[in-house]
Amino acid sequence: MSKPNANKMEQRVLTCLLRGDVDGAEALIEKMIEEDENNPIALALMADVCQMRGEFLEALGLMAMAIDLSPDEKVYLQSFVSCAKRLSFSFSQFNELMFRTTQTCVMRNDIDAAPLWQLWLALLDAHPELSQLRVQTETFSDKKIAALAAHPFFVGGLNNLIVVDAAFEGLLTSLRAALRCSLTDEKNLWNRTDFLRIAAALSRYACMTEYIFDTTQEEECWIDETRQRFAQNPAAARAEEIAVFACYEMLGGLPFATALLPVCDAEDALKPVADLQIRDAQRLADIAKTITAITPIEEGVSAAVQAQYETFPYPRWAYLPFAVAPGKLERQLPQDAKALVAGCGTGYEAAQAGMMMPKADVLAVDLSRLSLSYAIARTQDAGIQNIRYAQADILRLAERPERYDYIRSAGVLHHMADPRAGWQVLRNILKPRGLMRIALYSEYGRQDVVAARQVIAEKGFAATRDGMKDFRRQIDALLPADICQSLRSRGDFYQLSMLCDLLFHVQEHRFTLPQLAETLSALGLEFMGFDLAPDSFMAFHAMHGPSANDKDLQKWDALEQARPETFRAMYQFWCRAGK
């Protein structure tokens, strides 16, 4: 097929997909594949067709084939990640194509590979050699086992993933101990290059989890001694020691951190460590000094929540989606809409809003200056220019003259002393027919969290780094096995600030759907639908019939009582103001 004809055929396929003619698109793609079975565009388009039909495993395989033929096509890589996010994995035998494709993704620094953690872990377990890392976690004293930790697949995973698995966390704790012991061990388990690569990758992983790993008394002594030795003469610090220290403690927290930069910058493996742990930390501190406060902060719960997020900003993120398409309701907004992200935290949702509505004027506010500095830095990195960040208390926003076409507030209202009062403020500053996207905790979806919070309160675990790590160590003795398993299946369990937000928050309310319906009515807001995965809508219609109204909260309540996991992540929904 000539290139012009290929482009013409691709456009015909895309036209079919846009008008929902999946069968027509498939017929055209099959012709493309008949002409050239190694056409990555045709394979990627067929993967899109499979995804539209809910055939995600088939789509994943097709996208892997497309990537194998065109490994530098970023759109393919991100589509592969997006598809993998919808699946669970367990391999009865090793899959070389999936391994190569996943390795390609985790070795890049320009895509968000985080959703691949489960596929990556399953492939690690299925690999004929790398699987030994998972069955021999007690020691890396064997040179053959130690060498496996230098494999690009493993190192790439450490650089770009957070694995939601307690046993894997144990493996990394053992690896960290082995790296530390190797500093003085004559066995030389790794050559210098591999040692620095592994330690640098592990230090990134540890930093992104905010050093949630347990440490022994021996390790604590080493940390103290090394910190003192560095302080006496930072320029004399060995690169290997800096790399291992960064696996235990944030370099940027050292008062002499900048004096370590020449040593780090002399090693290719340590430059990214210095950028993340020293330069970026200083950058955030500098940005925090420039943030404008547009309202006072209320005493009481608002001040307590602010203090929490100044210590544990949430969540940490590094990548944005390739594109953010506006939903059906967002497409109805004016292009130059005035938008508010109320309680933006570290800016991920604000950045998405800015990408989704590039001509909108977006104001993003939060209580925490540290969270806002993180948001500003990441937004600058992404090149998004239509967002203004400011420190503010939602409870005081109605005192300002601005009114908004669109308000987003995810995971915020339920942390107020009176969520309805906070929501009323947002309602008051929403224009007539304005749109809101809200996210609130579900009572049914957080029963594991409720059980844990009760124990935490009864036993007096403090919302400090040591208190939270202590709770994690004792969890099996404190809670039933099913609750422990449920908590460990949550990604928030594996990062310290996210764990604080999950279990140690200073204030938490939860809702049921009848309560949500009553509040929407009282505020004069029309429920416009949930943001949920397709399988939840399938379950809804399986229970209530194919023609059931999916805006009927009473029917959704019946589904949630039958399937409490439906809103485990939160109620995420749109609502609209009247005229």
Query: Three-class SS string for 221-268?
Result: HHHHHHHHHHHHCHHHCCHHHHHHHCCCCCHHHCCCHHHHHHHHHCCC
- Residue 63 CB partners (closer than 8 Å, separation 6+): 43, 44, 47, 76, 79, 80, 83, 101
CB neighbourhood size of 293 (10 A): 12
Q: Please check the confidence at residue 12 and state whether its pLDDT lies above 80.
A: yes
401 in helix, strand or coil? coil
| Mean pLDDT along residues 351-362 | 96
Element (H, E) at 45: helix 40-52
The pLDDT tens digits for 112-123 are: 999 999 999 999
| Mean pLDDT along residues 207-223 | 97
Residue 3's pLDDT band, with cuts at 50, 70 and 90, is: very low
- Residue 103 CB partners (closer than 8 Å, separation 6+): 152, 153, 156
CA distance 255 to 241: 17
CB 425 within 8 A of CB 400: no
Beta-strand pair 361-366/338-342: parallel
CB 409 within 8 A of CB 525: no
| Mean pLDDT along residues 157-173 | 96
The pLDDT tens digits for 260-272 are: 999 999 999 999 9
Q: Please check the confidence at residue 141 and state whether its pLDDT lies above 80.
A: no
CB 346 within 8 A of CB 378: yes
| Mean pLDDT along residues 183-211 | 93
The pLDDT tens digits for 298-349 are: 999 999 999 999 999 988 888 887 778 898 999 999 999 999 999 999 999 9
CB neighbourhood size of 341 (10 A): 30
Q: Please check the confidence at residue 186 and state whether its pLDDT lies above 80.
A: no
Q: Please check the confidence at residue 107 and state whether its pLDDT lies above 50.
A: yes
Q: Please check the confidence at residue 110 and state whether its pLDDT lies above 80.
A: yes
| Mean pLDDT along residues 389-415 | 97
> What backbone phi and psi angles, to 5 degrees, belong to 183?
-60, -30
CA angle, residues 445, 449, 453, in degrees to nearest 5: 150
Helix 496-503 vs helix 447-459: crossing angle, to nearest 10: 90
Residue 52's pLDDT band, with cuts at 50, 70 and 90, is: confident
Q: Please check the confidence at residue 194 and state whether its pLDDT lies above 50.
A: yes
Pick the more confident residue, 430 or 143.
Answer: 430
* pLDDT at res. 54: 85
Lookup result for tokens 């030389």: 188
Sheet hosting strand 430-440, strand order edge to edge? 387-391, 361-366, 338-342, 404-410, 430-440, 571-577, 525-530
| Mean pLDDT along residues 449-478 | 98
CA distance 413 to 573: 14
CA distance 467 to 30: 59
CA distance 93 to 329: 45
Q: Please check the confidence at residue 5 and state whether its pLDDT lies above 80.
A: no
CA distance 91 to 126: 6
Helix then strand then coil, in percent of the chain rounded to 5, is 60, 10, 30
* pLDDT at res. 222: 98
* pLDDT at res. 94: 95
Residue 1's pLDDT band, with cuts at 50, 70 and 90, is: very low
20 in helix, strand or coil? coil
The pLDDT tens digits for 514-541 are: 999 999 999 999 999 999 988 899 999 9
> What backbone phi and psi angles, to 5 degrees, belong to 527?
-70, 130
Q: Please check the confidence at residue 86 and state whether its pLDDT lies above 80.
A: yes
**What residues form DSSP beta bridges with 574?**
437, 529
The pLDDT tens digits for 547-557 are: 999 999 999 99
Q: Please check the confidence at residue 4 and state whether its pLDDT lies above 60.
A: no
Residue 138's pLDDT band, with cuts at 50, 70 and 90, is: low
Beta-strand pair 430-440/387-391: unpaired
Q: Round the average pLDDT of the chain to a whole number and report it.
A: 94
CA distance 382 to 380: 5
Beta-strand pair 430-440/361-366: unpaired
Residue percentage of the chain with pLDDT more than 70: 98
* pLDDT at res. 236: 94
Q: Please check the confidence at residue 364 and state whether its pLDDT lies above 90.
A: yes
CB neighbourhood size of 232 (10 A): 9
| Mean pLDDT along residues 408-423 | 97
What's the whole-model pTM score? 0.93
* pLDDT at res. 53: 87
CA distance 543 to 546: 9
| Mean pLDDT along residues 82-100 | 92
Residue 135's pLDDT band, with cuts at 50, 70 and 90, is: confident
DSSP conformation letters of 184-216: T-TT--S-HHHHHHHHHHHHHHHHHTTS-S---
Residue 387's pLDDT band, with cuts at 50, 70 and 90, is: very high
* pLDDT at res. 276: 96
- Residue 134 CB partners (closer than 8 Å, separation 6+): 124, 125, 167, 168, 171
* pLDDT at res. 6: 59
* pLDDT at res. 139: 67
Element (H, E) at 391: strand 387-391
Q: Please check the confidence at residue 453 and state whether its pLDDT lies above 50.
A: yes
